[in-house]
Amino acid sequence: MYGPAAKPADYESFPYLRRGVDFPAVELSDPSSRRSRFAAASDDDRQARIDRLLAENVLISFHDHPQLLPADLADTPAFLRSKHEFTAFAELRRSGLTAVFDNWFGVIGSTRRAGWKWDDLITTLGLRLADLAHQDGVVAARTVQDILDAQRAGDVAFVMGTESAGMIENDLDRIDVLYGLGIRQMGLVYSDANTLGSGQKEHHDGGLTVFGRRAVERMNALGILVDVSHASDRTSLDAIEASAKPIAITHAGARAVWPIPRMKPDEVLKACAERGGVLGIEAAPHTTVSYDHRSQSIDSVMDHFTYAVELMGIEHVAFGPDTLYGDHAAFQKAISDVIGSSTVFDAGDLEWERISHVDGLENPSENFRNITGWLVEHGYSDSEITAVLGGNILRLLNEVWR
């Protein structure tokens, strides 16, 4: 299974290392092999408008995993344990994205049910930054100006983040260490409870702990964006109330549109907006399904978008597709024993269809072009599209990162 692969072009990451010598080599998925059938425009005029909007605006993915998966998902455990996560840099540059909030494979990266520990996080973060430093056309963003500079230069800015703060255990100073190493966004909890609060899988929702409140305060003081995407309802509400700055739900949807724990109830969405926060609409397989579209596609995802806009106001909604390069649905199955995904995606007795492909939102290369096309086709104005493609996130970051 391991050893030098036949096609060096499969790997864009870690150009300074020897594949199969310095780290295990596995065959990676072909990033061009999984494309959607969705057409972004119906005529030349609308296509020209889409092209202009994409060219003129700051495009920010609030949450994505721009990595390549193994071609054979049986290689997933060994691939993740190596901590050498391979990014499709060329594909990402062609996507038109200005910035991506990059959370790696995070809490599942160890392939242990207990998730990452502190040393795992620091090792993977260091490897990630070393890889970025040896790539052309990409930067690690620590300020809003870094993102704006990337747009002017035609680069892609990577915002370093984590989906959980569990790795800090009970040590607040570790938040300072992560800030110093470039982390600018932190999820409080990933599904299972930790020292900060309850996750969305918990049957008993204990909310934000006393330590969790202190952690939120420290993140505010440093300028780290607090994210409650995987936190329980009570923990989310407590964090919104405890934070002196607006918080984010970087990748989720509306539970009123599809009733699974992974989605957020109206109470949380409204509270987030009332305090100035932003929701990024999720698009990973088997998440943002809807009553009207029970086979997930761009249409079911946008059902969550239109609902959130009506509830929260368009100035509080963006996109965090949570996509990657490879067979995402099969990847979910491969890691289900580690993260308990079946409980997170459970919709009870409702009938819905498991899919192998989210048509229209399959990977970071196509997401924002297709989102823009959908918005143009459905009559949104230029200013509204500018806001949801990245303007709302920039406003939030200007408040939080200062």
pLDDT, mean over the chain: 90
Q: pLDDT grade, residue 42 (50/70/90)?
A: confident
Q: Pick the residue with more confidence: 33 or 211?
A: 211
How many CA atoms lie less than 13 Å away from 235 in the CB half-sphere? 35
Q: pLDDT grade, residue 4 (50/70/90)?
A: very low
- Degrees, nearest 5: CA angle 276-125-394: 25
Q: What is the DSSP string of 12-70?
A: -S-TTS-BTTTB---PBP-TTS------S-SSHHHHHHHHHHHHHS--EEEEE--BBPB
Mean pLDDT of 206-220: 98
Query: Distances in Å between the alpha carbon of 70 and those of 78, 269, 334, 362?
Result: 10, 36, 11, 16
Tokens 């992974």 sit on residue: 262
Q: Pick the residue with more confidence: 20 or 219?
A: 219
Q: What pTM was computed for the model?
A: 0.94
Q: What confidence tens digit (pLDDT) does each residue in 310-343 have? A: 999 999 999 999 999 989 888 888 777 555 555 5
pLDDT recorded at residue 1: 27
Mean pLDDT of 8-31: 80
Q: Is the pLDDT of residue 272 over 60?
A: yes
Q: What confidence tens digit (pLDDT) does each residue in 158-187 have? A: 999 999 999 999 999 999 999 999 999 999
Determine which of 23-27, 79-83, 216-220, 361-365 has the lowest per-residue pLDDT on average. 79-83
Q: What confidence tens digit (pLDDT) does each residue in 122-150 have? A: 998 999 999 999 999 999 999 999 999 99
| Domains assigned to the chain | 42-400 (3.20.20.140)
Mean pLDDT of 364-374: 96
Q: Pick the residue with more confidence: 248 or 113?
A: 248
Residue 62, Cβ neighbours under 10 Å: how many? 31
